[in-house]
């Protein structure tokens, strides 16, 4: 994947540079050898003065303030919702283009919610100053669903996600390590990031429980899938479970199609020819994508594809991606790349 159109950005700020997604953004920029004349690494007052090596230079983390965006061309926000709510309007008023990884703007009608392979065309002539990055579970789901919708049409989707602790940020990531170490040493684990112990456990609650019984995470997947696929009436049901893995969000998906597929091979080929997707599917030989293999990859992997004979035109499969990369930082970079490509063409 080339990110050559980003080179012309004069000044780039990462808001939340000390977080897991912020760090992944820095790693990706280094991997792709993308440098900007001016870089600002912003975080809370707790991190001020922290040193971060980036592209062969040492940067000091600065505190996010109302003056942070003077002269910033693009600001990538990856901070808690309340911080986004306060500072994105300030960044926009300062003239910055904001690409935001929180859920604050995802459902706003005039804000594009982008997975470039699916709805990147919305960025042609885009004049708004905010772009949203989808939830890290929504992105692999819509990538797998898009080719199915285009060829067969989708009647209904049932998705259960198996989400790693990195999806809940650095503190949650560290808690899996500390709880595991405590338990293996016969000590009582401390519980803080999740409502229950996560080490050697699974927790069927991500986000806050809403009025209809779904959690906020389950609601995000439902609403974002409808928005990105431009299917406002899509029948979709979602369950989200936190699992004790560090990286990768895996999804078990059941789809009822409008028109039947001929064979599983036909569906596998459809996915394999879609950008960013890779099918790894030979279960007789124990070959399918797992959380371990997807970590650190830019791709979204699909396996365990099979017919669901309990419904008409039914399909079951497993899809998984690195939540910090395609689920967050990589998708943001690809979105910016496409926006700048369109801008340079016009």
Ligand X SMILES: NC(=O)c1ccc[n+]([C@@H]2O[C@H](COP(=O)([O-])OP(=O)(O)OC[C@H]3O[C@@H](n4cnc5c(N)ncnc54)[C@H](OP(=O)(O)O)[C@@H]3O)[C@@H](O)[C@H]2O)c1
User: Pick from 2, 37, 46, 67: which binds ligand X (CB under 6 A)?
Assistant: 46
Does residue 107 belong to the site contacting ligand X (CB under 6 A)? Answer: no
Q: What does the alpha-carbon distance between residue 316 and residue 18 come to, in Å, rounded to a whole number?
A: 38
Does residue 78 belong to the site contacting ligand X (CB under 6 A)? Answer: yes
Does residue 297 belong to the site contacting ligand X (CB under 6 A)? Answer: no
Q: What does the alpha-carbon distance between residue 156 and residue 254 come to, in Å, rounded to a whole number?
A: 8
| Residue 274, helix vs strand vs coil | coil
User: Pick from 29, 39, 79, 236: which binds ligand X (CB under 6 A)?
Assistant: 79
In the complex with ligand X, the residue whose CB is nearer, 81 or 201, is: 81
CB of 109 to ligand X, least distance (A): 21
Whole-angstrom CA distances from 56 to 16, 17, 26, 143, 153 are: 20, 16, 12, 35, 49
Does residue 178 belong to the site contacting ligand X (CB under 6 A)? Answer: no
**Has 249 been annotated as catalytic?**
yes
Residue 233: how many other CB atoms lie within 10 Å: 6
Q: What does the alpha-carbon distance between residue 203 and residue 164 come to, in Å, rounded to a whole number?
A: 11
Tell me the torsion sign for CA atoms 266, 271, 275, 280: negative
In the complex with ligand X, the residue whose CB is nearer, 66 or 184, is: 66
Does residue 157 belong to the site contacting ligand X (CB under 6 A)? Answer: no
CB of 327 to ligand X, least distance (A): 5
**Interacting span for ligand X (CB under 6 A) from 44-52, 236-244, 285-293, 332-340:** 44-52
Please give the size of the binding site for ligand X, defined by CB under 6 A. Answer: 28
Q: What does the alpha-carbon distance between residue 122 and residue 341 come to, in Å, rounded to a whole number?
A: 13
Q: What does the alpha-carbon distance between residue 142 and residue 156 come to, in Å, rounded to a whole number?
A: 13
Q: Which two tokens stand for residue 227?
A: 């928005």
Q: What does the alpha-carbon distance between residue 233 and residue 231 come to, in Å, rounded to a whole number?
A: 6
Q: Which of 136, 202, 286, 291 is catalytic?
A: 136
Does residue 248 belong to the site contacting ligand X (CB under 6 A)? Answer: no
Does residue 244 belong to the site contacting ligand X (CB under 6 A)? Answer: no
Q: Which two tokens stand for residue 344?
A: 């340079």
Binders of ligand X among residues 2 to 21 (CB under 6 A) are: 16-21
Positions annotated as catalytic residues are: 136, 249
What is the binding site for ligand X (CB under 6 A)? 16-22, 43-44, 46-47, 64, 78-81, 83, 101-102, 136, 166-167, 169-170, 323-324, 327-328
């Amino acid at each position: 994947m080339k990110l050559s159109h980003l080179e012309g950005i004069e000044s780039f700020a990462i808001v939340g540079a000390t977080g897991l997604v912020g760090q992944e953004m820095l790693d990706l920029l280094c991997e792709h050898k993308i440098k900007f004349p001016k870089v600002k690494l912003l975080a809370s007052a707790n991190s001020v003065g922290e040193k971060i090596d980036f592209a062969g230079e040492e940067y000091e983390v600065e505190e996010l303030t109302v003056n942070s965006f003077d002269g910033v061309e693009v600001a990538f926000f990856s901070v808690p919702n309340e911080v986004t709510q306060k500072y994105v309007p300030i960044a926009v008023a300062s003239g910055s283009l904001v690409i935001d990884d929180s859920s604050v703007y995802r459902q706003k009608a005039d804000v594009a919610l982008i997975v470039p392979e699916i709805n990147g065309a919305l960025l042609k002539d885009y004049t708004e100053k905010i772009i949203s990055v989808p939830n890290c579970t929504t992105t692999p789901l819509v990538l797998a669903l898009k080719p199915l919708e285009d060829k067969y049409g989708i009647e209904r989707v049932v998705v259960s996600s198996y989400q790693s602790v990195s999806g809940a940020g650095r503190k949650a990531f560290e808690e899996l390590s500390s709880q595991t170490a405590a338990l293996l040493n016969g000590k009582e684990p401390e519980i803080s990031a999740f409502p229950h112990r996560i080490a050697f456990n699974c927790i069927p609650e991500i986000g806050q429980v809403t009025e209809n019984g779904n959690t906020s995470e389950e609601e995000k997947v439902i609403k974002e899938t409808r928005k990105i696929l431009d299917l406002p009436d899509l029948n979709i049901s979602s369950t989200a479970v936190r699992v004790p893995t560090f990286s990768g969000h895996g999804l078990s998906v059941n789809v009822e199609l409008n028109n039947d597929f001929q064979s599983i091979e036909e569906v596998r080929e459809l996915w394999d020819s879609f950008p960013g997707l890779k099918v790894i599917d030979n279960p007789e030989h124990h070959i399918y994508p797992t959380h371990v293999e997807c970590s650190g990859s830019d791709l979204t992997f699909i396996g365990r594809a099979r017919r669901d004979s309990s419904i008409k035109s039914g399909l079951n499969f497993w899809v998984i991606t690195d939540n910090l990369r395609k689920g967050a930082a990589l998708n943001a970079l690809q979105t910016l790349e496409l926006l700048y490509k369109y801008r340079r063409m016009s």
